Amino acid sequence: MSGRKRPSVGSHAGSPPPEWFALLVGGCDGPFTLPELGEMVQVGSVTASTWVWRPGRREWAPAGEFAELGAWLGGASPTAPAPKPRRAWRRLAVGPGLAVGALMVATAALAGYVLTPRDIPPPAAAPPPLATAPPTAPSAVQLATRIDALRRHLDRLQTRVDDLGRARKEAWRDVADRLQADIVVVEQGLRRAGLRLEALLETEAPTGGPIVVMPPEGGPLDRLDAAIDRAAALEVAGERLPLEAPLEEGYRITSGFGARRDPIEGDWAMHRALDFGAAAGTEVRAPAPGRVLRAGPAGSYGNLVELDHGRGVRSRYAHLLEVRARAGTRVARGDLLGLVGSTGRSTGNHLHYEVLVDGRKIDPLLLVQFGEPGDR
């Protein structure tokens, strides 16, 4: 019993036969006589929770459950039972790691009684924890090997970072190139329609400035930023331009922009507008937001509505059967302006549609076609 004081019991002569076993530090120990076990209780080697076994009970139980040990556990010293003759015992000490099947033979010659390990089933107990060796410090060679492996890993990571950076720049450059190609198409279409981009792209904010032209030389991100700014400015300008037909459906173009024979006089004359033939009462709607400059009779135009879209861009809607807009008010895209008719100098129901830039009439068809999806 390592770690605890084992009482000196001397010879068993004149004492009752040993028949007690205790599960002490290091494994099962015994056999003991009842007085020996009592001495072990008194010195603290056996407590009420120590597992104890005796053949008469044929099971393991805490020492506190045995009446024979109760007095010692309670602090008293009971009278020992009458001694009986006993013969020599042979004990086989069992060290740590006792399990089922451990060999311990005790032979007693008292009344032919023989005790074997098969009579002592061990109690269920958790196995002792496995001892782990303390970590050892790596050698200088091991440290050098690990450092070299870490450096190689960092080099691979840096290579990946560099590759990702190059791929990102290539993606920026590709997006900038595609966006710039679209910007060129839009600007060419607006210029072909007779619009002045410089006036259209000027900012309305008093603290702003002109659009920044994309630099010919610069990083891919700078080129992309410039392209995005230019595209955003064109989008804002496009929201103010009449890029849609003022009639939604049920119309046809009966006369285009340019020279034609006058339908009343028969002589060649310039027709600086676009005529949409449609049934009387067809709704005429604003193709872009603006402020109503005029709304009512206007000589040969008949009933006329004129809108100011800003940046020098205006539009006119003539020969209306009825006017549904009021001068001085603002209209949004799609608001009702009037109904198709044949008022003023007209030979039939149609809408006379004009677009002016800085007072100069341009072909409205170029704007309508430019605003239709897929025609750019």
pLDDT of residue 88: 32
119, 151, 183 — which closes off a domain?
119
Q: Indicate whether 22 pLDDT > 50.
A: yes
Q: Is position 128 within any domain?
A: no
Q: Are 196 and 312 in contact (CB under 8 A)?
A: yes
H helices, E strands: number in the chain = 6, 18
Whole-model pTM: value is 0.53
Q: Are 374 and 185 in contact (CB under 8 A)?
A: no
Q: Is position 273 within any domain?
A: yes
pLDDT in tens, 138-156: 788 888 888 988 999 999 9
> Do 307 and 223 reside in the same domain of the chain?
no
Distance CA 197, CA 179 (A): 18
Hey, is 325 helix, strand or coil? coil
Q: Is position 69 within any domain?
A: yes
- Quote the distance between the C-alpha of residue 38 and its chain's center: 71
Distance CA 203, CA 34 (A): 109
Domains contained in the chain, number? 3
> Do 170 and 208 reside in the same domain of the chain?
yes
Q: Are 318 and 351 in contact (CB under 8 A)?
A: yes
Q: Indicate whether 114 pLDDT > 60.
A: no
183, 216, 240 — which closes off a domain?
240
> Do 295 and 348 reside in the same domain of the chain?
yes
213, 240, 267 — which closes off a domain?
240
Distance CA 233, CA 209 (A): 12
Q: Whole domain around residue 232: which residue ranges?
A: 142-240
> Do 158 and 234 reside in the same domain of the chain?
yes
pLDDT of residue 68: 78
The pair of structure tokens assigned to 250 is: 């049920």
Q: Is position 215 within any domain?
A: yes
> Do 275 and 333 reside in the same domain of the chain?
yes
Place of tokens 């100069």: 360
